[in-house]
């Protein structure tokens, strides 16, 4: 138990520092200036922890460092061929290697870009900036970015593209999705999501979504083979642990958020954006259920579940009664912390025990 507490102590110190800072910001009264101070201080803390982490912090971090070294040392005529990554991410590595051949620089720059995109998205769209940041950390999206770096760069770009969904501007949206796919190929599958905005969750559309979900589950293996035709680099996962079943915790969280979202929808007036985010939650639940059979789908789920950092505060803020709203906030604060603690103890995404890169 003592060893375990040491392994997660840094994360707990950061968590409680943010929690105390949140209390100081919101009591006795929240102000714009104090909220901005929280925003930038939290950004800085999270950036430093991510940027200065050692190569063993994050399941795939060491692999990304090895890839950077290969790209950095490769000739310009051949550097696209030394790794099996997407061209955009490979080119990004090569450009960064011009600044320095120290592998830590790629961790620093990817941390900066991912967090910049996420915080921009939160600042622009969230109904409760402080709570969205809290969800981003405690629901483990932040720590997942230590591991699936390419995917979170793509997710960051998708979050930037979100505004174009709301503004109904398909050309810049599609351009950003295509750009995101040069970092993580599966990002291209987010393109049809544009057309889900404005879809009302009435009985007919609910039946259509249910039918679509059933169709997807029934023909899952055939669909997977089609995906491998377009993205052959992912086929190597088939014979690995990633094609074993995943856990149930992610599905329970997605189901709970979905039920809560539908309950709020029944008792208050909601917007097109609310229904859109609720549909993304339905898709997230579908993928998380499939990931119980094929655990790598947990990674694909992040493209949809990451919008929880926007949807959960939006749903709670839709509650008209102030006392009820405050109680729900406190309940979610506690549940999110318990999830955060459980994932830390589990060592999810390989983020414990934490060490700085200069200690290796």
- Residue-wise pLDDT for 320-337, tens only, equals 899 999 999 999 999 999
31, 90: one domain: yes
Tokens read off for 12: 């707990």
- Among 292, 345, 355, smallest CA distance to 5 is for 345
Tell me, yes or no, whether 89 lies in a domain.
yes
Are both 208 and 143 inside the same structural domain?
A: no
Least confident of 242-251, 256-265, 308-317: 242-251
Residues 142 and 286 in one domain: no
Q: What is the pTM of this model?
A: 0.89
338 part of a folded domain: no
The answer to whether 52 touches 356, Cβ cutoff 8 Å, is yes
Q: Measured between alpha carbons, how far is 355 from 36 in angstroms, rounded to an integer?
A: 29
- Give tens-digit pLDDT for 69-108: 999 999 988 899 899 899 999 999 999 999 998 999 999 9
Give the span between the Cα atoms of 56 and 356, in whole angstroms. Answer: 10
Give the residue numbers spanning the domain of 357. Answer: 1-185+347-360
The answer on 308 and 219 residing in a single domain is yes
CA distances from residue 209 to 214, 215, 254 in whole angstroms, order as listed: 9, 10, 16
Element (H, E) at 111: helix 104-125
Burial of 297 (0-12, 13-18, 19+ CB in 10 A): buried
**Could you give the number of structural domains in the chain?**
2
Is 236 a member of any domain? yes
Q: What is the pLDDT of residue 34?
A: 79
Are 132 and 244 members of one domain? Answer: no
With respect to residue 323, please indicate whether it lies within any of the assigned structural domains: no
Residues 95 and 40 in one domain: yes
**Are residues 286 and 357 both part of a single domain?**
no
Clarify whether residues 180 and 213 are in a common domain.
Answer: no
Q: What is the pLDDT of residue 239?
A: 47
The reply to whether 148 and 6 lie within a common domain is yes
Evaluate whether 211 touches 252 at the Cβ level (below 8 Å): no
Place of tokens 């990004």: 92
Q: Give yes or no: residues 154 and 19 share one domain.
A: yes
- 220 lies in the same domain as 353: no
Determine how many CB atoms are found less than 10 A away from the CB of residue 316. Answer: 21
């Amino acid at each position: 138990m003592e060893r375990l507490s040491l392994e997660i102590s840094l994360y707990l110190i950061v968590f409680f520092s943010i929690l105390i800072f949140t209390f100081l910001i919101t009591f006795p009264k929240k102000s714009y200036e104090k909220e901005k101070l929280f925003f930038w201080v939290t950004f800085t803390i999270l950036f430093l922890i991510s940027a200065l982490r050692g190569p063993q912090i994050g399941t795939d971090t060491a692999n990304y460092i090895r890839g950077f070294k290969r790209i950095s040392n490769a000739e310009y005529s051949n550097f696209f061929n030394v790794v099996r990554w997407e061209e955009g991410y490979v080119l990004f590595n090569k450009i960064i290697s011009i600044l320095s051949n120290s592998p830590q620089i790629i961790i620093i720059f990817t941390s900066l870009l991912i967090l910049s995109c996420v915080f921009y998205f939160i600042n622009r769209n969230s109904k409760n900036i402080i709570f969205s940041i809290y969800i981003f950390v405690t629901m483990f999206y932040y720590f997942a970015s230590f591991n699936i770096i390419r995917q979170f760069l793509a997710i960051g770009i998708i979050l930037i593209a979100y505004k174009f969904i709301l503004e109904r501007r398909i050309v810049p949206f599609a351009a950003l999705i295509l750009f995101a796919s040069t970092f993580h190929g599966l990002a291209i599958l987010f393109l049809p999501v544009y057309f889900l905005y404005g879809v009302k969750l009435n009985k007919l559309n609910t039946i259509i979504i249910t039918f679509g979900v059933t169709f997807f589950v029934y023909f899952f293996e055939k669909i997977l083979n089609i995906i491998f035709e377009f993205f052959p680099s992912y086929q190597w996962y088939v014979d690995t642990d990633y094609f074993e079943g995943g856990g149930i915790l992610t599905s329970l969280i997605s189901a709970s958020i979905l039920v809560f979202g539908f309950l709020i929808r029944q008792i208050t007036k909601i917007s097109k954006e609310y229904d859109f985010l609720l549909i993304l939650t339905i898709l997230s639940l579908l993928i998380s259920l499939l990931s119980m059979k094929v655990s790598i789908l947990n990674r694909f789920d992040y493209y949809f579940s990451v919008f929880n950092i926007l949807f959960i505060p939006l749903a709670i803020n839709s509650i008209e009664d102030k006392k009820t709203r405050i109680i729900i906030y406190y309940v979610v604060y506690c549940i999110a912390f318990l999830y955060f603690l459980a994932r830390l103890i589990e060592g999810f995404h390989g983020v414990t025990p934490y060490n700085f890169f200069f200690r290796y």
